[in-house]
Amino acid sequence: MSNSVIVYDDEYQAAATTLLRYGNMLIERIERYSSCLQTITSNAIQDPLIAPRLLELANRTAALAVPLEQSVNRACSLCGDFVRAIDEADCFLA
């Protein structure tokens, strides 16, 4: 029985690419949704009970984009770091 570990680093590269693609798509959708909410609050009849809550929802929704982008970038960075570490560890195989 061998003590070697087989790591398919291509899967980590694919994961980073997928995370980046879907993360950017989600950020874009969040920004679009927030923009729609902002437009509704500025163009609709201002109900004193609904308008402030809708504006708060728009602001909170827009605020989600920043931590989401940070999380996506961090996850992609970790995948890249892992792939580089694996490549350095197995450079003698090439």
pLDDT tens track for 65-93: 999 999 999 998 998 898 888 878 777 66
| Domain annotation covers residue 30 | yes
| Domain annotation covers residue 3 | no
| Domain annotation covers residue 68 | yes
| Domain annotation covers residue 69 | yes
* Residue 92, pLDDT score: 67
Residues spanned by the domain of 13? 9-93
**CB-based burial, 14-24: b 16+ in 10 Å, e otherwise:** ebbeebeeebe
CA distances from 86 to 11, 60, 78 (A): 12, 40, 12
Over residues 8-43, the pLDDT tens digits come to 778 888 888 999 999 999 999 999 999 999 999 889
Number of folded domains that form the chain: 1
Q: How confident is the model at residue 1 (pLDDT cuts 50, 70, 90)?
A: very low
Nearest to 65 by CA among 36, 38, 21, 26: 26
